[in-house]
Amino acid sequence: MADTSRSEQVDRNLPFYLNEFEDLKTFVCLRIRGALNYNNILSADSSQSELLSEQFDKIFNDSQNLNFVIKKINLIISNSRELSGQNFQNCSEIYEKYHNKTLQPDESVQDKLSNYIPIDLFKEVTVQDNPEQRYSPQFINHKGICRIQAFKIPIDCLVLVDPQTKIENLAEIILEKLNQHLQSVKNCYKSYYQNESNFKAETFHFYTNQDFLITCVYPNTFQDDSLVNLRKEIHSSLDLQSDRPILRRVDAFQFSKESNPSDVTQQFSKYLTNPHLSAKPSNVKNGKQSLVKGNYLYFHYMQDNFNDNGWGCAYRSFQTIFSWFRLQNYTTKSIPTHRDIQKALVDMGDKQKEFIGSSKWIGSMEISFCLNQMLNVDCKILSVSKGSELVEKARELQYHFETEGTPVMIGGGVLAHTIVGVDFDELTGDVQFLILDPHYTGGEDIKTITTKGWVAWKDMKFWSENSYYNMCCPIRPKGV
């Protein structure tokens, strides 16, 4: 689609580029994939900068001779008139032929992206019959030590087009976006390539619920932790939030038609996600609601065929909190088991060795220790001497959800719960807390869980007057 001022402001020396949506309701996504392979003969005195400059000059020059093929509908898209698709007038017709359905304006952006049209990339190697162009072999004689440098550049380029784009204009649009992609690949090589034989410039697409799609090209020889400064530059360039991860590899858009075993939605499909969204409304009139931000999983007794009935409520609350950090992509670690949690407490010296494998309960402080040990996450602890004093912490909880957005574990006596929201009327002092109860022992039935009050708004009567309560409020890491 046509570039706007945002695209023009992108730093052309960084390995990323944008696709901007002219209309979120109507666009066709084309996905160009293939590989460009080159072998260069280098003399011993060839510098890396010269190599890269010469190589990418050749790549950009050769890109003008590329053909784009949609195999399913036998369509070749090319600058050559005789290769252009004769049976289609515009991209809408291509979409309808390929998917056997019309474009749906009410589809989400994610669905439109997933319903892309795959296009294979081919390099034309035959010579056009042009009497003005005559070629003969060229031989270069070089005395000295030489080596062969292989370049294999995988291409994964998205092109967003208006459905009414005419077929005869499509090749030019694709080539323009492909050159942006190649420029990002070149930038990746310039910044990170060190003559490694296994070097690969990998492409990742990110949709951030804004009016543009971000494509980043990262070196496979660098882990995410080593690319923090690059991500900071991209965040700054696009005025993205600088206090949370958006452009890590794990944040990349997952096309629904592709099976990805690392996709968290597949990994955790057996658990309920955000059950509080199905809870009955709060009874506080004229209150201000502050809720958890982002996604989490609801963990409770007896899940995963593990009997922790009567002692594992705090462990389950910890798993819920840990899942929030996992689903927000602050970590790629698996959700810890009860044994993992116990071992972490022993390793840090908080518990003795016999604690591992036991049925001993833990509290808010142990939860904070484990979050710090496993995720390097700090926590704020809020304490009250009895349940009726929790109303005094309503404002602090509101501030926590508005600024941090993480679930809160609350422990009192031998019971633990998870707070994911607060509804507070400052004028009347009326308050309710949105509670996930880990003591539930049934299956993942959202109707039962919400109607029976296992996930529900609870008033002050829910808390015991005879218990001292600690609330563990995780502080979200501030970084990209």
Find which of 42-56, 95-109, 292-306 is predicted with most confidence, using mean pLDDT: 292-306
Find which of 59-63, 82-86, 270-274 is predicted with most confidence, using mean pLDDT: 270-274
**For residue 100, is pLDDT > 80?**
yes
Same-domain check for residues 300 and 170: no
> What's the pLDDT score for residue 133?
56
Catalytic position from the list 162, 224, 439, 459: 439
Q: What angle do CA 122, 123, 128 make, to 5 degrees?
A: 125
d(CA 181, CA 218): 12
Q: What is the DSSP string of 280-307?
A: PPP--TT-EEEE--S--EE--TTGGG--
Catalytic: 437? Answer: yes
Catalytic position from the list 91, 235, 437, 473: 437
Range of the domain at 77: 16-125+143-200
The beta strands (E) that lie in 303-450 are given as 379-384, 408-412, 415-424, 431-436
pLDDT digits (tens, 9 = 90+) for 194-217: 888 889 999 999 998 888 999 999
pLDDT band at 413 (very low <50, low <70, confident <90, very high): confident
Same-domain check for residues 275 and 382: yes
> What's the pLDDT score for residue 142?
64
Answer whether residue 230 is part of any domain: no
Contacts of 337 (CB under 8 A, 6+ apart): 306
pLDDT band at 135 (very low <50, low <70, confident <90, very high): low
Candidate from 42-56, 89-103, 278-292, 422-436 with smallest mean pLDDT = 42-56
Identify the domain boundary among 200, 216, 235.
Answer: 200
> What's the pLDDT score for residue 247?
96
% of the chain surpassing 70 pLDDT: 88
The overall average pLDDT reported for the chain is 89
Catalytic: 313? Answer: yes
Residues, the chain: 480
Answer whether residue 258 is part of any domain: no
> What's the pLDDT score for residue 141?
66
Number of Cβ atoms within 10 Å of the Cβ of 104: 12
What Cα–Cα distance (Å) separates residue 226 from each residue in 26, 216, 229, 231? 38, 15, 8, 10
The one-letter code for the residue type at 396 is E
What average pLDDT score do residues 402-413 get? 96
Catalytic position from the list 313, 370, 379, 473: 313
Same-domain check for residues 162 and 274: no
Same-domain check for residues 67 and 153: yes
pTM: 0.82
Same-domain check for residues 69 and 160: yes
Answer whether residue 234 is part of any domain: no
% of the chain surpassing 90 pLDDT: 70
Q: Which of 374, 255, 272 is nearest to 320 (CA)?
A: 272
Q: What angle do CA 438, 439, 440 make, to 5 degrees?
A: 90
pLDDT digits (tens, 9 = 90+) for 20-78: 988 878 899 999 999 988 877 666 666 777 778 888 888 888 888 899 999 999 999 98
Q: Which of 393, 465, 476, 385 is nearest to 431 (CA)?
A: 393
- The values of phi and psi at residue 425, to 5°, are -105, 110
Answer whether residue 26 is part of any domain: yes
What SS3 state is found at 232? helix
**For residue 400, is pLDDT > 80?**
yes
- The values of phi and psi at residue 345, to 5°, are -70, -35
What average pLDDT score do residues 277-289 get? 96
Count: domains in the chain: 2
**For residue 136, is pLDDT > 80?**
no
Catalytic: 29? Answer: no
Same-domain check for residues 278 and 380: yes
